[in-house]
Amino acid sequence: MTLDDRWFTESSEQLGLAFSLKLKGRNKLFDVQSPFQRVEVYQTEGFGNLMVIDGCTMVSTRDNFLYHEMMAHPALFTHPDPKRVVIIGGGDCGTLREVLRHDSVEQAWQIDIDEQVTRAAEQFFPELCASNHDPRARLLFADGIQWIADAEASSIDLIIVDSTDPVGPAEGLFSVPFYRNCHRILRPGGIVIQQSESPLVHLHLLQDIHRIMREAGFDSTQTLLFPQCIYPSGWWSATMAGKQATLNTFREQDALHKRFDTEYYNRDIHQAALAYPEFLRRALAAR
Amino acid sequence: MTLDDRWFTESSEQLGLAFSLKLKGRNKLFDVQSPFQRVEVYQTEGFGNLMVIDGCTMVSTRDNFLYHEMMAHPALFTHPDPKRVVIIGGGDCGTLREVLRHDSVEQAWQIDIDEQVTRAAEQFFPELCASNHDPRARLLFADGIQWIADAEASSIDLIIVDSTDPVGPAEGLFSVPFYRNCHRILRPGGIVIQQSESPLVHLHLLQDIHRIMREAGFDSTQTLLFPQCIYPSGWWSATMAGKQATLNTFREQDALHKRFDTEYYNRDIHQAALAYPEFLRRALAAR
C-alpha distances in Å from residue A252, one per residue of A194, A255, A257, B91, B281: 22, 5, 9, 43, 18
Q: Are B64 and B128 in contact (CB under 8 A)?
A: yes
* Residue A217 CB-density burial (10 A; 0-12 exposed, 13-18 middle, 19+ buried): middle
Q: Is residue A187 part of a domain?
A: yes
pLDDT of residue B164: 79
Total domains in the fold of chain A: 2
pLDDT in tens, B91-107: 999 999 999 999 999 99
Give contacts of B282 with chain A, Cβ < 8 Å.
Answer: none
pLDDT of residue B178: 96
Residue A18 forms contact with B (CB below 8 Å): yes
Q: Is residue A73 part of a domain?
A: yes
Assign residue A31 the CATH number of its domain: 2.30.140.10
Residue A285 forms contact with B (CB below 8 Å): no
Contact A63 B200 (CB under 8 A): yes
Q: Is residue B92 part of a domain?
A: yes
Contact B19 A17 (CB under 8 A): yes
Query: Could you give the CA distance from residue B94 to residue B51 in angstroms, rounded to a whole number?
Result: 13
pLDDT of residue A84: 98
pLDDT score of A95 more than 70: yes
Give contacts of B269 with chain A, Cβ < 8 Å.
Answer: 275-278
Contact A279 B273 (CB under 8 A): no
Q: What is the band of A26 on the pLDDT scale with cuts at 50, 70, 90?
A: low
Q: Are residues B166 and B259 in the same domain?
A: yes
Report the range of poorest mean pLDDT among A12-21, A73-82, B2-11. Answer: B2-11
Give contacts of B262 with chain A, Cβ < 8 Å.
Answer: 278
Which residue of the set A63, A112, A157, A162 is catalytic?
A162
pLDDT in tens, B247-286: 999 999 999 999 999 999 999 999 999 999 999 999 999 6
Q: What is the band of A141 on the pLDDT scale with cuts at 50, 70, 90?
A: very high
C-alpha distances in Å from residue A158, one per residue of A84, A86, A107, A155, A187: 7, 6, 11, 10, 9
Which residue in chain A has the smallest CA separation from B236? A227
pLDDT of residue B287: 54
pLDDT of residue A171: 79
Chain B contacts in chain A segment 229-248 (CB below 8 A): 229, 233-235
Average the pLDDT over A78-102 and give the result. Answer: 98
The DSSP element (H or E) to which A180 belongs, if any, is helix A176-185
Q: Is residue A2 part of a domain?
A: no
Q: Are residues A188 and A78 in the same domain?
A: yes
pLDDT score of B6 more than 80: yes
Q: Which of A58, A68, A49 is nearest to A263 (CA)?
A: A68
Chain B contacts in chain A segment 38-57 (CB below 8 A): 44-47, 55
Of B1, B17, B227, the CB nearest to A22: B17
| Angle in degrees, CA A148, A198, A86, rounded to 5 | 20
Of B18, B201, B281, the CB nearest to A20: B18
Q: Are residues A12 and A84 in the same domain?
A: no
pLDDT in tens, B222-256: 999 999 999 999 999 999 999 999 999 999 999 99
Contact A45 B7 (CB under 8 A): no
| Angle in degrees, CA B171, B174, B177, rounded to 5 | 105
Which residue in chain A has the smallest CA separation from B70? A277
Pairing of strands B7-12, B156-162: unpaired
Q: Which of B180, B184, B39 is nearest to B115 (CA)?
A: B39
Residue A11 forms contact with B (CB below 8 Å): yes
pLDDT score of A22 more than 70: yes
* SS3 at position A99: helix
Q: What percent of chain A has pLDDT over 90?
A: 92
How close, in Å, is residue B184 to chain A by CA atoms?
34
Average the pLDDT over A53-78 and give the result. Answer: 97
- Name, in order, each residue with C-beta under 8 angstroms of A201's C-beta and a sequence gap of 6 or more: A15, A17, A232, A233, B46, B229
* Residue B225 CB-density burial (10 A; 0-12 exposed, 13-18 middle, 19+ buried): buried
Give contacts of A44 with chain B, Cβ < 8 Å.
Answer: 16
**A8 strand-pairing partners:** A21
Q: Are residues A32 and A107 in the same domain?
A: no
Region of residue B178 (phi > 0: left; psi between -120 and 50: alpha; otherwise: beta): alpha
- Name, in order, each residue with C-beta under 8 angstroms of B271's C-beta and a sequence gap of 6 or more: A271, A272, A275, B250, B252
Q: Are residues B194 and B219 in the same domain?
A: yes
Contact B17 A21 (CB under 8 A): yes
Q: Which domain holds residue A48?
A: 7-60
Report the range of poorest mean pLDDT among A10-14, A162-166, B137-141. Answer: A162-166
pLDDT of residue A1: 56
Chain A contacts in chain B segment 149-178 (CB below 8 A): none
Amino acid identity for residue B214 in this structure:
R
Cα separation of the two ends of chain A: 41
Give contacts of B255 with chain A, Cβ < 8 Å.
Answer: none
Q: Is residue B1 part of a domain?
A: no
Q: Are residues A28 and A91 in the same domain?
A: no
Q: Are residues A48 and A81 in the same domain?
A: no
pLDDT in tens, A262-282: 999 999 999 999 999 999 999
pLDDT score of B3 more than 90: no
Q: What is the mean pLDDT of chain B?
A: 95
pLDDT score of A2 more than 70: no
pLDDT of residue B2: 64
pLDDT of residue A275: 98
Which residue in chain A has the smallest CA separation from B43? A16
- Interface probe, candidates A200, A264, A267, A274, chain B, greatest B C-beta count within 10 A: A200
Q: Are residues B150 and B215 in the same domain?
A: yes
Contact A229 B234 (CB under 8 A): yes
- Interface probe, candidates A13, A235, A274, chain B, greatest B C-beta count within 10 A: A235
Q: What is the band of A41 on the pLDDT scale with cuts at 50, 70, 90?
A: very high
- Interface probe, candidates A4, A5, A6, A7, chain B, greatest B C-beta count within 10 A: A7
Q: Are residues A44 and A94 in the same domain?
A: no
pLDDT in tens, B144-198: 999 999 999 999 999 999 987 776 667 788 899 999 999 999 999 999 999 999 9
Average the pLDDT over B55-75 and give the result. Answer: 97
Q: Which of A172, A15, A209 is nearest to B19 (CA)?
A: A15
Q: Which of A51, A52, A49, A45 is nearest to A23 (CA)?
A: A45
Assign residue B196 the CATH number of its domain: 3.40.50.150
Average the pLDDT over A101-121 and give the result. Answer: 98
pLDDT of residue A112: 97
Q: Which of B59, B166, B171 is nearest to B118 (CA)?
A: B59
pLDDT score of B119 more than 60: yes
Chain A contacts in chain B segment 248-267 (CB below 8 A): 261-266
Alpha helix positions (H), chain B: 64-76, 94-99, 115-124, 144-150, 176-185, 203-215, 252-256, 267-273, 278-285
Give contacts of B48 with chain A, Cβ < 8 Å.
Answer: none
Q: Are residues A20 and A133 in the same domain?
A: no
Q: What is the band of B49 on the pLDDT scale with cuts at 50, 70, 90?
A: very high
Q: Are residues B106 and B247 in the same domain?
A: yes
Give contacts of A61 with chain B, Cβ < 8 Å.
Answer: none
Please indicate whether residue B162 is annotated as part of the active site: yes
